Amino acid sequence: MMKKRGVYFILLVSLLLIFGQNSSLFAADLNDVDSLTCHGEIVHIGDTKSDVKEKCGEPTSLKRGSWGSEVWFYDFGPDTFVHYIKFVGDKIERIQSGGYGS
């Protein structure tokens, strides 16, 4: 019985470490926004990946998270804020802006 509890405990701690690491795709110092303007087009929460690619182009980079989530990073240069778009499945769940790009 004690051996079984130890295995369950190790499994629980492992799962917490795995999901805790992947759930924090966004940095705390970013600002949540409702939309993003790309090349005169507006992207909103709920839009699809194809909508974003059509309006903003390919992301500067992306990071894959757990459970089918992805974060696309857009850096349009030093005169514009960088933006992070989180997708769950094919839809935008969250948009955040940070400091000026490079």
The residue type found at 97 is S
* The pLDDT value given to residue 3: 54
For the stretch 28-76, pLDDT in tens is 568 899 999 998 999 999 999 999 999 999 999 999 987 888 999 999 8
For the chain, domains (ranges, CATH) are 2-100 (3.30.1450)
* The pLDDT value given to residue 17: 38
If residue 39 lies in a helix (H) or strand (E), which one and from where to where? Answer: none
Phi then psi for 29, rounded to 5 degrees? -90, 15
Instruction: Read off the pLDDT band of 99 (50, 70, 90).
Output: confident
Instruction: Assign 8 to helix, strand or coil.
Output: helix
For the stretch 11-33, pLDDT in tens is 433 433 334 444 444 445 688 99
